Structure 1
Amino acid sequence: MNIKSLLLGSAAALIAVSGAEPAEYVKICDVYGAGYFYIPGTETCLRIGGYVRYDIGVGDVGSFDGAKSFDHEDGESQSTYFKNARFALKTWTGQETELGTLKTYTETRFNFGNRQAYGGSTTDDGDVVGPNNAFNKGVSLNFAWIQLGGLRVGKDESAFNTFIGYAGNVINDTLVPYGDFDTNVVQYYFDAGNGFSAVVSLEEGSGTKGTIDSYVPHVVGGVKWTQGWGGISGVVAYDSNYEEVAGKVRLDVNVNDQISLFIIGGYGSDDNLSDPTWAIPAGGRGFYKQWGGNWAVWGGGTYKFNEKTSFNTQISYDEDENLGIAANIAYDVVPGFTVTAEVDYVNAGSFPASNWTNADDDSNIGGMLRFQRSF
């Protein structure tokens, strides 16, 4: 018997012992887009993604009170960077059923960095500062919902914002706020397939003022019509805690392949929100109507210089004379890796009574440099 015969006989024996079970390989699922694969042994398609982000902020940025600390040598107040590193993990699943597409989406965020004006000490100038600790800020569950057909339940962001879209492609898009985000929802989406869609959302809210205080949920309803030139959309929200109503209307226009523009107008009632005799006074701002006064506007757009570089801007203003201006340039260094440099300005109207951003003064400016690898 030669060596070749011996090797072939050994291989045959091993196959016989193992039962010759075939290996099960991961199969690509292209029904729901790129990146999905079948979970072995199931008809469920799974996609795993996310991003790693690093922010460097200077001046008045973020909450617009600036990052401050005590000097280690003499204890004097001084400014420093606002920094934050984030890892966001996302998952998507999809499966076809007799009742429609069954989908899930989750997003969990992990953050490390320093806070704005961290601590509880006060300087001679009245600045609240502290040791400026950089630390693990904890884990936040930002999305965790199930959707069957048009019915969605779970943790989401409010349809008051998601249905008509956020206020531009800038980092700090809430210099004049346009509604709160985190909430549990029970909602139904309707898509007619011709550009018309609608939503009804029952929401729990979040926070001291925003979380519902009875079995009566907050209610959001919206309609949208989109075409190649752009779209028109609107949402109305009922705040069950303060029994007030807020609404927004949005117009999007695609001027050409390089330029896209938007404008949003918001209006909300606030008699109860402004009533200081309520058990939990809202200070004029609820879960949905978060801008100052009854009305507010947001406008801006995007100009694409080329496939890699875009200029984004947003200008916002409300009845209490709060003015926000944000502008950035986003550059795709390579596919999946984007660097964004942004400048932000806030003029706080009715300072400080109506100031949303905790700004130190009536006129404030800051900057942010963001590095993000998405996958």
Structure 2
Amino acid sequence: MKIKSLLLGSAAAMLAVSGASAADAIIAAEPEPVEYVRVCDAFGAGYFYIPGTETCLKISGFVRMDIEFNSNDDSYGTNVRGRLNIQAKEDTELGVLHAYVRVQGDTGTANLNDGSTYDPPAALDQAYAELGGLIFGYTETTWVSSKNGGASGFGSHSDNGLAYGYSQANQIGYNFTGGNWFAAISANDDGDTTTYMPDITGRVGGVFAGATIYLAGGYDQSAENFGLKLGLNTDIGPAGNLIVQGFYADGPTRWGANNSPTGILQFNNSTTYTPEWSVIASYQHQFAPNFKGSIGGQYSSDYYFTPLQGTGTLGSANSGIDSWAIEGVLVWNPVENLEVRGEVRYTDFSSGVTESGAFAGGDATTGIFRLQRNF
């Protein structure tokens, strides 16, 4: 009986202890679910979803170094540029909502020599948004390239594209695409605060049997002049590409094949050098998957010019000042995302007579050697 009582007492004690232990036990909280970054393949490679949203984000850019030379300077210079591109896209009932921001900074030989700008700040180089065909912000004008124009943008196959009037502006516009056709128009802030009228640029074109043909135009309300550009971009065989562009301007304007003889000479303290007529032709050949080259040239005739404020009257056509240029380019990609580029250009300005007197022409050979890492 005593043994039975002892066993029952021991069991009760054990139950009491285990019950107290269960009551005192610490139960760890379950971890919150982690939302991992998901790949977004709706808009091409490189996009991922911003966690908690349906917005797709892409980050890209490059770091590059140029070694530059100019025969008239009898020296070389260097320039380093870093660029960061950020894109955000999402589908809406009104079309794709897109935002683009491009930030970049440069440091060159001049920066290093002035003793104060070893660390130049990055600058906002582009920032614009699109919804369907609507576009607003700061980016290239439709004189240069429209977002829906495909191969109808920019100049020759070289880095600076020869002289085709590259420009960016605060703007609002619309891009229309239908079948093989595209069109674009934009109102651009030209910085003239004396009027409500902006500059107007537009572009229309289409793709026919693999060839892109287009017409671009711009009205410069400050100068009350206009420019026109007719262009062709077409593949030739499996490895070749041809670009041809013709320009006309009825006076000095930002919407032309503007060309500055900086580094060769300056005439009449001019700030705008617009030829009445100009033509660019450039051919590029893909010799191997990682190696290509191009050759191009440009002829421009009868330069208009706009002197600095207070230094003279506007120039006129038939000044007799012409120019021509020829360039060669080689590009090698030894590994993916690394570019090795070499460019050489010869430019010649002829002599002529302007409203401020005689102008003596000159020539120069310029070039760059570049290393660029893209990401």
- Length-normalised TM-score, structure 1: 0.76
Q: Does 1:168 align with 2:162?
A: no
Taking the aligned partners of 2:354 and 2:295, their CA distance within structure 1 comes to 27
Secondary structure of the equivalent of 2:28? Answer: helix
Q: Cα 1:136–1:288, aligned 2, differ >3 Å: closer, same or farther? A: farther
Q: Which residue matches 2:335?
A: 334
In structure 2, the residue matched to 1:321 is: 322
**Alpha-carbon spacing, 1:161–1:56, altered in 2? closer, same or farther (3 Å):** same
Deviation at 1:350, TM superposition (A): 3.1
Residue 256 and residue 368 in structure 1: after superposition, are their counterparts in 2 closer, same or farther (change >3 A)?
same
Which residue of 1 is the match for residue 134 of structure 2? Answer: 151
Residue 213 to residue 329, structure 1, CA distance change in 2 (3 Å): farther
Q: 1:23 aligns with which of 34, 38, 46?
A: 34
Among 45, 51, 57, the residue aligned to 1:34: 45
SS of residue paired to 2:280: strand
Q: Which moved more, 1:131-140 or 1:231-240?
A: 131-140
1:251 counterpart letter in structure 2: L
Q: CA contact under 8 A between 2:66 and 2:79: conserved in structure 1?
A: yes
Match for residue 351 of structure 2?
A: 350
C-alpha contact (below 8 Å) 1:204/1:212 kept by paired residues: no
Partner of 2:173: 187
Q: Give the aligned partner of residue 86 of structure 2.
A: 91
Deviations 1:37-83 (A, max 9, x none): 000000000000100010001234xxxx64xxxxxxxxxxxx43210
Relative contact order higher in (CA < 8 Å, ≥ 6 apart) = 1
Q: Report the CA distance between 1:107 and its aligned residue.
A: 0.9
Measure how far apart 1:352 and its partner are: 9.9
Structure 1 unpaired stretches of 5+: 1-12, 67-78, 120-129, 271-283, 355-359
For the aligned residue pairs, the C-alpha RMSD in angstroms reads 2.5
**Change in 2 beyond 3 A, CA 1:334/1:362:** same
Amino acid at match of 2:297: I
Secondary structure of residue in 2 paired with 1:363: strand
| Residues 1:39 and 1:353: Cα distance change in structure 2 (over 3 Å) | farther
Distance 2:322 2:279 in 1: 11
Identity over aligned pairs, percent: 28
CA distance in 1, matches of 2:231, 2:238: 20
Once residues 36 and 108 of structure 1 are traced to their aligned partners in structure 2, the CA distance between those partners, rounded to angstroms, is: 19
Aligned to 1:9: none
Residues 348, 57 of structure 1: alpha-carbon distance in 2 compared, 3 angstrom cutoff: same
Report the counterpart of residue 10 of structure 1 in structure 2: none
- Superposed displacement of residue 259, structure 1: 0.7
Name 1:303's counterpart in structure 2.
285
* Contact in 1 for aligned 2:217/2:255 (Cα 8 Å): no
Q: CA deviation at 1:173?
A: 2.2
Aligned length: 308
Residues 352 and 140 (structure 1 numbering): CA distance in 2 closer, same or farther, change over 3 Å?
farther
Q: Unaligned 5+ residue runs, structure 2?
A: 1-24, 147-151, 260-273, 302-320
Cα distance 1:346–1:85, how it changes in 2: closer, same or farther (>3 A)?
same
After superposing on structure 2, the runs of 4+ consecutive aligned residues of structure 1 that deviate more than 6 Å are: 130-134, 351-354
| Larger-gyration structure (1/2) | 2
